[in-house]
Every structure is written in C-alpha cells, then in structure tokens.
Structure 1
C-alpha cells in the first residue's frame, strides 16, 4: 500500500515496542484500564482454549496469507490493549501509528448452542474442568468442531482497522485475533462471553441427568442420622441447644412434671398396701 509518493516508513520492532509502552502510559493517565497482550517466548497460546482458538482460525484459507504477520505483531508486544465483550473485540495496535481495531463476531445461534449442550450432556465433570480444558476427547471434538462448535466461522466475523491497508484482514487485525487466543489462556470464560452464551450451562446439562436420578432414588432411602454423618464426614456434631419456652409452655411443663411425680407416689402407696395385705 502506498504512503504519499512512496512507501510507508519502516518502523523497527524495538521502536514499535517503545511507542506501544508510551501509548499505554498515556491511556493510563487518562484513566483508561489498559489490558495489553503479553507473550512470553515464541508460543502464543499454551492452554486448550487458547490453542483451539488459534488453530481454528488457521483452518480457513481466507486467513492463511495474513495471519503470519499477525503472529509477529502480537509476539513483539504491539497489541497495546485488548478488550473482549459480548459479540465484539476492541483493541489498540501500535504500527507506524496507533491503530484502532474492532472485530465483531456474531453470537452463537440458539440452535447451535443447544446442540453443543446436548452433545456434551453428561460429559463435563465440573466448571473448573471446563475452564481448564480438562475434557474428554468426545467433548473436545464437539466444542472445536469446525462448523458446529463454539468457535466462529469467517462469515460470522467482521473486521475493521483504522490503518490505510485496504485488505479486510491487515496485520493489525491478525495480531488482535492471535491476541484473543493469548487472552483465552488467562480467561477462557471470555470465549463464552464473546459468543453470548453461559458456559455454566455446559456443566448444568452434564449434571442434570444425574441430579434427577439421585432425586428419584432419594425417596427410597432414609436420611443419615447424626452418628452416620459424623462417621462419613469425620466431624463431631454439637448437641442441639434447648429451645427456650415461653410462660405458658413453662407452666404446662411444670404441671406435667408435678403430675408425673404424684403418679409415681400413688403407685408406690398402692404397692406398699398390697405387700402388707399379703
């Protein structure tokens, strides 16, 4: 792309990094909460969700020629700020200048999300396992399915950058897309926010069947007694505190005690009388 009567001046990686740091400081002074993308080493993403995002993008021929430049940008710290919201990613990328990048992604269609939940039903052990990517091979296949999984298709993605490059995906946009993968390493739940779905529903769909089954069986079993609870959980249960009585209850209790004592005295007198009679 031409720049005036010649080509855009080359900006070294070190210079871009220096400018990026300066721009971040300026934004912080203005009260902006800056969230830069930082990559340690050559590997952009290290966890299941981060790597799955990057690998998904690399499956599409539409992107294969532009993505390599983006890897360079995200590795050298040029993505100064990245914010993931429902259906959108907003970012600032340092190139020759500071550019604004917006990536709009359609939220996951309801029927597709429903199908994902049904196919994962009973196979996601916990929310922690889901976010850490500790999933069975079957669940991994479902969520990473190229056309029916959680990740967006090219037709669901809209790209925009303030740079003068005419291409739909410039190197700044590509850097942001890889930056999303790096961010998912830190906060995998942001993928579900981006697609407009509740990740807890995957765990809920997994547990619903077992909870219902346990509920049906519950009516057939007695509740654990205090002694059993102590054995099962290794705890010592405190004795229940006596419930305080009001005036009427106290008077009634006193009459019962008095009547009980009189009854015992009467029985004793009857017993002595019978003994003497014999």
Structure 2
C-alpha cells in the first residue's frame, strides 16, 4: 500500500492559497459538519497548527490533533475506485496531451476532471463519501478534530492533486508506471523535446516543489529537497 506522510502545517494568520478543487474539498467538509460551532472550532484548530503530520494512503488519511493537554487521533476514509474505474482514470490521463505534466506541476485542470466525470468516475468526493473516526469522546461525527484534519487535507490537495488521487486508491508511482506501460509518459516527453525520461520527470517534480513553496512561503521546506 502506498502512503505519503505530509509534515505539520505551521500556524499562520490569514488564508492559504487555494485552488478550485481544494475549494470543492472544503465544501465537502463543510457539508459533512453537523453544527456550525464544530466547523468553526475545527477550522480554528487547523489554522493554529494543532494538526500533526498527516499520513495519506489508499482510501484513507490519519493525523493527530492537539487540544489542550490531550492529543486525539483522527482517521478519515474515502471510497476507493474499483479496478474498472481506476483503469478508466488512467485512460483519461493518457488521452490528453500534457495532463500528466499538469498533475506533476501541482495542477488539476477543470477539463480533465470533467472528462473523468464524463467517463463515469468521480474524483472529487461528496460529503456522504467521507467517513470519520476520532479517539475523543464527542458523539458528533465528524467532531471538531476530524473537521480540523479535513480542513488541512484540503490544503494538501491544493498543493498536490496526487494526494486526492492517492486517497482514491491510485498512488503517484503506480499511475506513472501504468502510463509508462501505455507509452504515454515517453510520448509526452518526446513531444516536449526531452530525451531522457527520468530527466523530464525530475524537472516536473522540481517545478511542483517550487509551486508549493510559492503558494505557501511560510511552510517548512525540509520535505521539498
């Protein structure tokens, strides 16, 4: 199983850079909340850096949340794509020139998502697809700790759409391997004048890191080198 550990977001004032797909994620989290008070409390916890490292894997995300002297563990789950839907997603990526380059650069083009949806595959979740659990004693589901984690997961997908695709069950490496098996990565590299496939991918990944820092200059960059 693929898993990616994302570092703790440092607290900061003001809003963070957002994208249309992270706004869609944020709406899903808001719709999942039962009470406005819990949602506001969850967002406040997220903004002040109470959420620890977030581990994103196939179909789930996990993170600790500090509140007072206690630390609670939140687990969230998102329905994974089945084999047919996953194959369809790969085909849609392969069918569009430059789509993998856009994903590697931290972009999730709206026409791409529309094409995925037209193929019958839902990439962005709706509120009913998200499930939550927390080690706290609150009876609300999701509780404020879960909403804090959900809020920060939205920040992750803003910077890296692969986090969303991974939660749907398809990791970055597996997607690239499937595209390479189809000849898509080589074709896109050749059309861009890149002789060495590894060089082309490395350049795209470096561009994604630069865009992530530009979107949030206060964020620690140790994980980007």
Do these two structures clear the TM 0.5 threshold for a shared fold by scoring above it? yes
Task: Answer with 1 or 2: which has the greater Rg.
Answer: 1
State which drifts further: 95-104 or 148-157. 148-157
Paired residue for 1:104?
A: 77
Paired residue for 1:274?
A: none
Q: 1:151 aligns with which of 113, 117, 124?
A: 124
Question: Is the 8 Å Cα contact of residues 120 and 202 (structure 1) preserved in structure 2?
Answer: no
Q: 1:148 to 1:159 in 2, by over 3 A?
A: same
Q: 1:95 to 1:143 in 2, by over 3 A?
A: farther
Note the 1:178-193 alignment, pairs <5 A. Answer: 178-193=151-166
**What TM-score does the superposition give when structure 1 sets the normalisation length?**
0.51
Note the 1:203-214 alignment, pairs <5 A. Answer: 208=184
Matched, 1:37 2:9: yes
Distance 1:72 1:102 in 2: 19
Distance 2:109 2:165 in 1: 19
Distance 1:41 1:124 in 2: 39
- Where does the alignment leave 5 or more consecutive residues of structure 2 unmatched? 191-225
Distance 2:134 2:14 in 1: 25
Paired residue for 1:262?
A: none
Q: 1:154 to 1:95 in 2, by over 3 A?
A: same
Distance 1:201 1:52 in 2: 28
Give the 3-state SS of the residue equivalent to 1:94 in structure 2: strand
Root-mean-square deviation (CA, aligned residues, Å) is: 3.6
Give the 3-state SS of the residue equivalent to 1:100 in structure 2: strand
Q: 2:60 aligns with which of 88, 97, 100?
A: 88
Paired residue for 1:248?
A: none
Distance 2:26 2:181 in 1: 27
Number of equivalenced pairs: 176
Matched, 1:160 2:127: no
Report the alpha carbon displacement of residue 99 of structure 1 after superposing the two structures with TM: 0.9
Paired residue for 2:26?
A: 54
Question: Is the 8 Å Cα contact of residues 71 and 178 (structure 1) preserved in structure 2?
Answer: yes
Give the 3-state SS of the residue equivalent to 1:111 in structure 2: helix
Distance 2:178 2:125 in 1: 18
Matched, 1:63 2:39: no
Q: Which has the higher contact order (CA 8 A, sep 6+)?
A: 2
- Where does the alignment leave 5 or more consecutive residues of structure 1 unmatched? 1-32, 215-278
Distance 1:143 1:98 in 2: 39
Give the 3-state SS of the residue equivalent to 2:96 in structure 1: coil
**What TM-score does the superposition give when structure 2 sets the normalisation length?**
0.61
Question: Is the 8 Å Cα contact of residues 121 and 205 (structure 1) preserved in structure 2?
Answer: no
